[in-house]
Amino acid sequence: MSLIATDISVSLGRKQILHEVSVEARAGEITAIVGPNGSGKTTLMRGLTGELACRGRITLNGRDIADMSPEELAQCRGVLPQAGALSFPFTVAEVVRIGVEARGERADALVPAALAAVDLPGFSGRLYQELSGGEQQRVQLARVLAQVWHPVDQAGPHWLLLDEPVSSLDIAHQLTVMRLAADYARRGGGVVAVMHDLNLTALFAQKLVLMTAGRVLCQGRPDEVLTDAALSGAYGCRLRVNTVPDSGIWVLPHAAA
């Protein structure tokens, strides 16, 4: 089962943002969308989720998302947007419960389990607005995870669509989130994530989609995409892969498991 986008183009006003982008993400893997600022990563993600109107075709587990109701989409994929601001004083449990109720399941067990998964046990009664940015981001991830708690059911694989899921997190919680995503994929679910940290991406993703200027420059395994030529061309600066800088300190996690 796959999430397949074919010839996706998106225009905002008179400006075309995406130019006939085609990607395929398979269940059981983490597919990471990478590239410089303004390359179209978030626009592609918003197209994949149906949030933005686009030309082309997107299928999820063999079905065209244009033919699926919001309720059907909510049953098989959870979406973590880049920002999750709330205007009302919800508790953490109430935010996570939104994801549970999208599936019509009981929240009593799922809410604490989802919070524990993102390293926020005991936060249920806290007010969302009183949390740090990183804690809020993990609450939103718990909401999405609760929505598609089981990676696979009788209808097929479920999907996590994550836009910059580690952007506000310290290195320990970056690893927590990426290990959670890796475990979800190992158990049969699909994960598509917009990422900026190329080192973290290389540790966890099975497939990379490198974008620049609204197009896919290349896609494939990390070793196929993370090359000197591809990265230097995409980011517009000289980059070398797998080389420790000549001076300074380089801190990088050594284990994904």
Q: What is the CATH number of domain 2-235?
A: 3.40.50.300
- Domain-wise residue ranges, the chain: 2-235
- pLDDT, position 255: 63
- pLDDT, position 245: 66
- pLDDT, position 240: 86
- pLDDT, position 254: 67
- pLDDT, position 107: 66
- pLDDT, position 50: 87
- pLDDT, position 242: 79
For 199-230, the pLDDT digits (tens) are 999 999 999 999 999 999 999 999 999 999 99
- pLDDT, position 108: 75
For 6-24, the pLDDT digits (tens) are 999 999 888 999 999 999 9
Low pLDDT (below 70) residues in the chain: 84, 102-107, 243-245, 247, 252-257
Up-side HSE of residue 142: CA atoms within 13 Å toward CB? Answer: 29
